[in-house]
């Protein structure tokens, strides 16, 4: 167990909670040790925090919450790096970008998910060709049920 300074304050992280990215994360290749934080106030967003640079953290979301048909195809090389023995040990997250003061414009990077083998704590970021870097989290189209509710309230004078 170690105590690490993060943007969320000092945290005690057990050795088995540390995620090691053997190749770093693109743009942060020098950083290898991270942990996932679950903060109730930010759910469903979780945080990938660097244990080597207190200023580096990434908001993460389950990509299937954003796109139900999302698919991740890992290469043999990816599986070898992750040392996968059982596919159920793999967890996938996507990094979220939240513009300052405009959370409604948040996007999720479906093109480059963070993939972690939770059994051994090894992580990588992979590139998927068929997705975009900035997929909107909130659909621009209002869900039909909300629109219908509003119309019925307007019609009733409520």
Model confidence over 113-131: pLDDT tens digits? 999 999 999 999 999 999 9
The mean pLDDT value of the chain amounts to: 87
Q: CA 76, CA 138: separation in Å to the nearest integer?
A: 34
- Please report whether residue 95 resides in a domain: yes
Q: How many CB atoms lie within 10 A of CB 68?
A: 7
Split at pLDDT 50, 70, 90, the class of 148 is very low
The pLDDT, as a whole number, for residue 66 is 94
12 is in which domain, residue-wise? Answer: 2-136
- Please report whether residue 13 resides in a domain: yes
- Please report whether residue 6 resides in a domain: yes
Say how many Å lie between the first and final Cα of the chain, rounded: 58
The pLDDT, as a whole number, for residue 5 is 85
129-146: b or e for each residue (b if 16 or more CB lie within 10 Å)? eebeeebebeeeeeeeee
For residue 37, the surrounding DSSP H or E stretch is strand 33-37
The pTM of this model reads 0.83
Split at pLDDT 50, 70, 90, the class of 141 is very low
Q: CA 101, CA 4: separation in Å to the nearest integer?
A: 29
- Please report whether residue 156 resides in a domain: no
Specify the CATH number for the domain of residue 8: 2.30.290.10
Q: CA 128, CA 92: separation in Å to the nearest integer?
A: 13
The pLDDT, as a whole number, for residue 139 is 61
Among 63, 40, 36, smallest CA distance to 118 is for 36
Does residue 151 surpass a pLDDT of 80?
Answer: no
pLDDT tens per residue across span 39-63: 899 899 999 999 999 999 999 999 9
- Please report whether residue 141 resides in a domain: no
Contacts of 86 by beta carbon, 8 Å cutoff, 6+ apart? 119
User: Residue 47: is the preceding peptide bond cis (ω within 30°)?
Assistant: no
Does residue 12 surpass a pLDDT of 70?
Answer: yes
- Please report whether residue 104 resides in a domain: yes
- Please report whether residue 89 resides in a domain: yes
Q: How many domains does the chain have?
A: 1
Does residue 101 surpass a pLDDT of 70?
Answer: yes
Of 147 and 14, the one with more pLDDT: 14
- Please report whether residue 151 resides in a domain: no
């Amino acid at each position: 167990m170690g105590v690490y300074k993060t943007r969320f304050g000092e945290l005690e992280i057990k050795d088995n909670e540390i995620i090691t990215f053997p190749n770093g994360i693109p743009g942060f290749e020098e950083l290898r040790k991270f942990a996932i934080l679950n903060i109730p106030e930010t759910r469903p967003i979780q945080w990938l925090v660097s244990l080597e640079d207190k200023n580096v953290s990434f908001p993460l979301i389950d990509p299937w919450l954003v796109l139900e048909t999302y698919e991740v195809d890992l290469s043999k090389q990816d599986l070898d790096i992750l040392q996968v023995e059982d596919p159920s040990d793999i967890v996938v997250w996507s990094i979220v970008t939240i513009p300052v003061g405009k959370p409604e414009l948040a996007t999720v990077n479906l093109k480059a998910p963070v993939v972690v083998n939770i059994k051994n704590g090894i992580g990588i970021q992979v590139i998927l060709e068929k997705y975009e870097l900035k997929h909107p989290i909130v659909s621009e189209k209002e869900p039909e049920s909300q629109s219908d509710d509003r119309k019925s309230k307007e019609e009733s004078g409520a």
